[in-house]
Amino acid sequence: MHAVLRKIAKGYTVCYSEVFPDQDNDYFHLAYMGKLFLIADSYCLNPDCTCQEAALNFVQVYPREDKKNADSFMVRFKLNGRGYKIHEQGHFHRREIKSIMMHFNADKKVGKLLNERFKEMREKTSEILS
């Protein structure tokens, strides 16, 4: 937990899997057009911050195309339902990211789940800081 506290103090986002590492659902998975993505969700846990976003890091784990590092991109997903902003594009085109995001949140359940996870993270942070 010390690493999590350091990240909070420095204003970094904290990955859900860092706070709840034994969960079966600590990462999201997405199959899209023959590609498989692993998605890590991170949140700002600074108790004084009012941001309502999830930082989503999409890592393409299949196919790897003989690259040393996996292709990835990151978006800041607004938890109030007002879209997202591309934070890091990687080797992906903006149109492809838009299409992946539409597929990822097609049924709007992801937004609800991200809000629940954000609430869990904030509650755990309050517990740790108390």
DSSP of 20-40, one letter per residue?
Answer: STT-TTSSEEEEETTEEEEEE
Coil vs helix vs strand at 77 = strand
Is the confidence at residue 35, as pLDDT, over 90? yes
Is the confidence at residue 32, as pLDDT, over 90? yes
1 within 8 A of 128, measured Cβ to Cβ: yes
Q: How confident is the model at residue 8 (pLDDT cuts 50, 70, 90)?
A: confident
For tokens 């607004």, name the residue: 78
pLDDT of residue 56: 98
81 within 8 A of 111, measured Cβ to Cβ: yes
Is the confidence at residue 68, as pLDDT, over 70? no
CA distance 38 to 22: 17
Average pLDDT taken over every residue of the chain: 90
CA 42 → CA 15, 17, 62, 82, 126, distances in Å?
Answer: 4, 9, 22, 18, 17
Nearest alpha-carbon partner for 100 in 38, 51, 52:
38
pTM: 0.91
Q: What is the dihedral of CA 90, 93, 94, 99, to 10 degrees?
A: -110
